[in-house]
Structure 1
């Protein structure tokens, strides 16, 4: 049966396996000390044998103890197997182990004290089983072991004092030694309990730190901002998926750790780190960094640097944290904040303008009927043209005005895009075939495992595609194949398979300033443009769960300017009418 434990001695609930291993190491240390004592004892026995002291009782007792001590030291697997079967068991000796170690020591040392008489003082050896009991057993059991040792000392002192007529001195010496054994037992038990509590507290703190590290990792992985932990040598220690996406085009940068120095595309980040170390206060305000990749594409980043130990310990700082944001996303977010209220206001104004605009149009038509001179006809025509232009602006604003709308149907993208392209050719009087200005092609559509369907309002998709085609025609070379429309299937990743509709043109590449403001409302490079075309395309795409973006290809590619719309593919078996 197990040893009785008090509330102060019992472990707090189930202990971890590491606690069990720590107990085993302590137990192994005591067994090693007993084995060393056994070796010393065998050496003394050999010396006594050579000097002619060959007492049979002494020889048998010493050899027996040494054999048991060495056997228990060389065969600790019994203890290990017991702990392995129940790693959460209380950290103390079992009764069998206590008898084989502490009980054997008490018996042998007491017998040695009686056999050697005054020739050898074995009182100090009793401290070993008492200390072992204080560390590896409950406090009451440790005090009981000290009591047994004290009783043996008093008994040996009584016998020796009777034989030598020094009973008082012998009993006094034995009593003091017994008191010392009790003190050793109490102190060892208290210190062992204190160490056990501190160890449990340290392991609890370690587990909390491990959980916090896992939580931080989950938070970093889900962040939309890129996070890099970089040392002064430019070595990245940690990088979340967002940062890896921003550092590569396309795909992901390698997993951390990796080196920033030596890669031409990342030289801007290396310079940002060096600048942050030299001027930490300026680094925290953020700076813009341009990454130029090997394929000719580029990405503007906003980089902020933070130091973990504040400004006063910058010289001792070995690592810093970089926060990376795509400038286009930052500007888009800022635009969304600014346009949130303006959109509602513009929709209200547009509704109010429609009635006066209709009245102006009707009044102008009546004035046109009474016009007799060429000047009057020219004025009415100017009014009519501007009324039509204002009507288009109102319709564009109302098209992206917030409000509940019915769900879009699931359409066949290939069929819809082909019909839109054919209609656009007819509208502009373009021919079809290999020499056509507009070429339509597909990529990897045959690899799709299910019929391709996307959820998009056909009229809205037509408006987006026609706007992109008009821009490509306006800025292209006009040569055969100057405009290329491509449908590409991308296999499923985290958010399912995607369909990419891209419109490429061979016109002059856009400037950096124009590219930054592409999707802003009322931004146009034409004097007569409203600046709402691409903005409306973006709003219509986001309304249907799609995304539109622009990228610029190297000079070796004919269609350097590419606008692409990424649309999620409807899963197989979904309803074609209800989103």
Structure 2
């Protein structure tokens, strides 16, 4: 484009406003050609809109995408349309004058009119064919036409059409003045547009007076010229109002495009991060969209290059395709969903499928698309189980808190009765009460240990010294024989190992693991092995292994779940408490089997975060 719709950045907002403006930031130095015409400003909000922001949206129409990717404002497109119209008009004028030259050769002013039309045709063609003639090829901020652009279009039109009017001749050129008036009404501020209409009216009046000769123009000719001028004013005002409405509509449309793009990005992000599978399926059973979770649940299609794929024709997806056909046929689906069994190579997978339609059933309109929400039944069951366990844990913690005070009173009263017990039967009864009260106290302590509360702040702890002290205390408590005959073997590093953990909680974890190891071990010399070592620069590892029989697979999966125990008198909270305490300090606990040939085949290991100790000197090896 020769003139380019780029115009300078407005510096002052005034009532006389231009109705078009570009939506991209201004380039430095564009205001140098504007002179003092700073009153006009764009009616567009000058936002950070770019065509690339919406080019990747899949929810835009082809026409909207084309306009958005072009980055062209309404002023730019209308300016190019006017430039093309001027070029066509220039060629038409020149062709008309040439045609009259063959028919009428004796008119004294025809030669000057022919030259003027030829010059005008060349100027308009150059402006249309040479887009880089007056500046960059892409528009910048378009609050109004620049001075040189106004001169190259509206100014040239006024001079050319005014000259043709003054030259007179057999043709009436008054109608040509509609073009500069219309262009000024659309592309310039209101005051400038009215000025162009006034100049066009003066040209018509002067040409009428000039062409009437010495006798002067008749009142009829002057009235016709006045009516023509009034028509030019009306055209200018109407063009301005229509262009203002177009500017507002374009601003709204571009804002809607940007909003649609942001909403599409947000929806895509949510769907990609969603753990539940989501598929959009049409009536023919073709998947139009699927998030990564859905593709993982049903299996990746063989041709995954495209976004859509068909459910029909794949044997593994036939149950899902039948479920979609059934949903479209019924027009509804249960709220809780239905289970669909998909055959797979590694075993069938049972999915919970919920179907939702885009319109309400009351509308009684045939649905073209449905949305499938797919979940693995095992995931659903695990979530339900976790919710039940969480509710049970809250209730149990509340009950344990209420039991603690009465239990303390029972234990105190039993101690007083034990002091006064004289007979063997009374002493046996008080001993039974004391033992069971202690058992209840341990259960209450376990429940309160895992009850929700403040998250402790981990501090550096010398794991070497702590593990040695706990093992020694535990061995004395359970009355293990000392020396080589002891079932407990402790292997500790010579240097201190710093970890992030609470000393009392680490003691609780280690005692629980030692109790389990001794309970299920053979109690022979070295049956229980405890070791501590450095795994890497970030983690230290504590292990407790025993020589007991291997844990069955059906038991292993429930090892760390609360209230699961293989003993009739067990609470099933020991390993659960160990896991909860480890998670509080960013540690992890896991079980591993070394196999039957190994003596210490059952091993529980705790990975703890390492930390620097204030005193990093080596400490002596402490055994039980």
Aligned residue in 2 for 1:357: 411
**Aligned equivalent of 1:533, options 560, 574, 590:** 574
**Aligned equivalent of 1:345, options 399, 402, 419:** 399
Q: Give the whole-Å Cα distance in 2 for the aligned partners of 1:287 and 1:476.
A: 47
Aligned residue in 1 for 2:46: 15
Q: What's the offset of the Cα at 1:29?
A: 1.3
Q: Give the whole-Å Cα distance in 1 for the aligned partners of 2:457 and 2:532.
A: 26
Once the two structures are superposed, the pairs formed by residues 292-307 of structure 1 within 5 Å of their partners are 307=357
Q: Give the whole-Å Cα distance in 1 for the aligned partners of 2:310 and 2:566.
A: 38
Aligned residue in 1 for 2:254: 203
Q: Give the whole-Å Cα distance in 2 for the aligned partners of 1:418 and 1:294.
A: 50
Q: What's the offset of the Cα at 1:152?
A: 2.1
TM-score after normalising by structure 2: 0.64
Distance 1:415 1:364, change over 3 A: closer
Q: What's the offset of the Cα at 1:57?
A: 1.8
Aligned residue in 1 for 2:160: 108
Q: What's the offset of the Cα at 1:93?
A: 0.9
Query: Is structure 2 residue 500 aligned with structure 1 residue 455?
Result: yes
Secondary structure of 2:554's counterpart equals coil
* Bigger mean CA deviation after superposition, 105-114 or 35-44: 35-44
CA displacement 1:211-260 (0-9 Å, x = unmatched): 55566677778x8x6355421157584748xx5999699xxxx9996879
Is the contact between residue 439 and residue 481 of structure 1 (CA under 8 Å) also seen in structure 2?
no
Distance 1:74 1:543, change over 3 A: same
Q: What's the offset of the Cα at 1:136?
A: 0.4
Distance 1:288 1:370, change over 3 A: farther
Secondary structure of 1:63's counterpart equals helix
Aligned residue in 1 for 2:424: 371
Q: Give the whole-Å Cα distance in 2 for the aligned partners of 1:500 and 1:290.
A: 42
CA displacement 1:163-208 (0-9 Å, x = unmatched): 9999344334333332222221111011001111222233334444
Aligned residue in 2 for 1:124: 175
TM-score after normalising by structure 1: 0.68
Aligned residue in 2 for 1:65: 120
Secondary structure of 2:279's counterpart equals strand
CA displacement 1:89-133 (0-9 Å, x = unmatched): 52x11222112111111221222233352x222222221111111
Query: Is structure 2 residue 275 aligned with structure 1 residue 226?
Result: yes
Distance 1:94 1:407, change over 3 A: closer
Q: Give the whole-Å Cα distance in 2 for the aligned partners of 1:52 and 1:526.
A: 122
Q: Give the whole-Å Cα distance in 2 for the aligned partners of 1:279 and 1:405.
A: 52
Once the two structures are superposed, the pairs formed by residues 119-518 of structure 1 within 5 Å of their partners are 119-161=170-212, 167-212=218-263, 226-232=275-281, 235=287, 237=289, 239=291, 282-285=333-336, 307-312=357-362, 315-316=366-367, 318-320=369-371, 322=373, 327-360=381-414, 363=417, 370-371=423-424, 386-400=436-450, 407-411=457-461, 454-464=499-509, 467=512, 506-510=550-554
Secondary structure of 1:173's counterpart equals helix
Is the contact between residue 181 and residue 193 of structure 2 (CA under 8 Å) also seen in structure 1?
yes
Q: What's the offset of the Cα at 1:346?
A: 0.9
Q: Give the whole-Å Cα distance in 1 for the aligned partners of 2:287 and 2:394.
A: 41
* Bigger mean CA deviation after superposition, 125-134 or 166-175: 166-175
Distance 1:282 1:14, change over 3 A: closer
Q: Give the whole-Å Cα distance in 1 for the aligned partners of 2:475 and 2:607.
A: 24
Secondary structure of 1:81's counterpart equals coil
Aligned residue in 2 for 1:519: 561
Distance 1:407 1:65, change over 3 A: closer
Distance 1:355 1:274, change over 3 A: farther
CA displacement 1:457-510 (0-9 Å, x = unmatched): 2442353355467668878999x999999999799xxxxx78888999953222
How many residue pairs match? The answer is 533
Is the contact between residue 135 and residue 192 of structure 1 (CA under 8 Å) also seen in structure 2?
yes
Is the contact between residue 316 and residue 344 of structure 2 (CA under 8 Å) also seen in structure 1?
yes
Distance 1:319 1:281, change over 3 A: closer
Aligned residue in 1 for 2:15: 6
Is the contact between residue 228 and residue 237 of structure 1 (CA under 8 Å) also seen in structure 2?
no
Query: Is structure 2 residue 129 aligned with structure 1 residue 74?
Result: yes
Is the contact between residue 305 and residue 321 of structure 1 (CA under 8 Å) also seen in structure 2?
yes
Distance 1:82 1:489, change over 3 A: farther
